[in-house]
Structure 1
Amino acid sequence: MEQNFLKIRKSKGKINGTLQLLVLEEGDHLIMYLPALNLSAYGDDFKEANEMLKEVLDDYFSALIQLSKEEIDAELHKLGWDKHKIYRRVVNLSDTTFEDIKAQFGISNETELKPLQKFSLSV
């Protein structure tokens, strides 16, 4: 099990954290998936997929930071997060199989799963 965390400083409008990142190859495309937030992006290569993921995260966190503290708690709780001093979420990838991920994205059996990576962020 890997631990993801988010530190939300609403008064400063900042979110920092570390999230697990799954990288999948589907044909000529690369898919980046953050299971802890159920967010994904894709591109023709790593650079393009990474830039798209940064845009997705920026949009998500920009909307999240506008919510009240109670709404932020509720939104993250829906995704399986628990709040301590910082938000933490343990992702047990044995609960989410590669077959589940392929079905969610509608990708073929030829798709390759790259080794799990950690993704640090600051928005």
Structure 2
Amino acid sequence: MIRKRLVGSAKPLKQEIHLNIKRGTARGVFSIAYFEDHGHQIAYLPALNLTSYGNNKHEAIQMLDEVVDDYLDGLFSLPEPQVVSELQKLGWKRDPIFNKDFTADAHIDREGILRNFNLPAETEIEQQLMSV
């Protein structure tokens, strides 16, 4: 099971994930965007292109926990070259020396979120780090 905790609202230079594909374990730090849409709180993890929602932020985080677990379970069921390929499609880069480590830019594109989710320009978007 993956454990998550919010680690603050500072913006990291890089998101990081350490995957032990053989054991099916992961740990890392991700930027999460939160916003309201049609009366629901949305949690969006752009680095893995995953989204969840709830009646409040707490519910959205709990649902995101389940979504990330399911995503990683599916990812770990793939052969290692395909795991790497899937992460690369999402913008992750594998460390050439520490091959279990991947990094990705942490920038959250506010305009992209507004456009992709068809949100009004005045929508407030909060960003936090999540440790997995």
Q: Report the TM-score when normalising by structure 2.
A: 0.81
1:46-57 alignment runs, 5 A limit: 46-57=57-68
Q: Which residue of structure 2 aligns with residue 92 of structure 1?
A: 107
Could you tell me how far 1:29 is from its partner in structure 2? 1.6
- Residue of 39, 53, 75 corresponding to 1:42: 53
Q: Which amino acid aligns with 1:21?
A: I
Could you tell me how far 1:45 is from its partner in structure 2? 0.4
1:56-83 Cα offsets, whole Å, 9 max, x none, are 1011000001111100110000001100
Correspondence 1:108 to 2:108: no
Q: Which residue of structure 1 aligns with residue 72 of structure 2?
A: 61
1:6-29 Cα offsets, whole Å, 9 max, x none, are 111112111111101111123532
Identity %: 33
| Aligned residues between the structures | 117
Q: Distance in 2 between matches of 1:117 and 1:101?
A: 15
Q: Report the TM-score when normalising by structure 1.
A: 0.87
In structure 1, stretches of 5+ residues that fail to align are none
Q: Distance in 2 between matches of 1:38 and 1:10?
A: 20
Q: Distance in 1 between matches of 2:41 and 2:121?
A: 15
SS at match of 1:61: helix
Q: Distance in 2 between matches of 1:23 and 1:56?
A: 15
SS at match of 1:32: strand
Could you tell me how far 1:44 is from its partner in structure 2? 0.8
1:70-81 alignment runs, 5 A limit: 70-81=81-92
Give the number of the structure whose residues are more often helix, by fraction.
1
SS at match of 2:22: helix
